[in-house]
Amino acid sequence: MQDNEQQMRRIDSVQVLVDSSLHLSENLIALKNSGTAIRVDQLVQGKRIMDASRILIGRFTDIESALLQVRSEKMHRSSIPLRYLSLLLR
């Protein structure tokens, strides 16, 4: 992951969304504890934050899976000559 700047930026974006979600949750809890009604638009805001988080995490996971596949294929290709060499050395 460290070799992919775009993925690192996605992680940063997810962190911003998580922080926003936590901040909103804390505010909503404080409102509820004080007896103030929570408005629908506040709940919708929380849903939007969570939806955006899911989308970003999904993209991140998809890209990481693709990168892992490419790395695995490269590793497999590079290990084939070593297998033949080990057979010759037996």
pLDDT digits (tens, 9 = 90+) for 36-85: 999 999 999 999 999 999 999 999 999 999 988 988 888 877 777 766 66
What pTM, to 2 d.p., does this model score? 0.69
**52 touches 10 (CB < 8 A):** no
Report the C-alpha dihedral over residues 25, 31, 34, 39, rounded to 10 degrees.
Answer: -140
Query: Which DSSP symbol is given to 36?
Result: P
pLDDT greater than 80 at residue 87: no
Q: What is the number of structural domains in the chain? A: 1
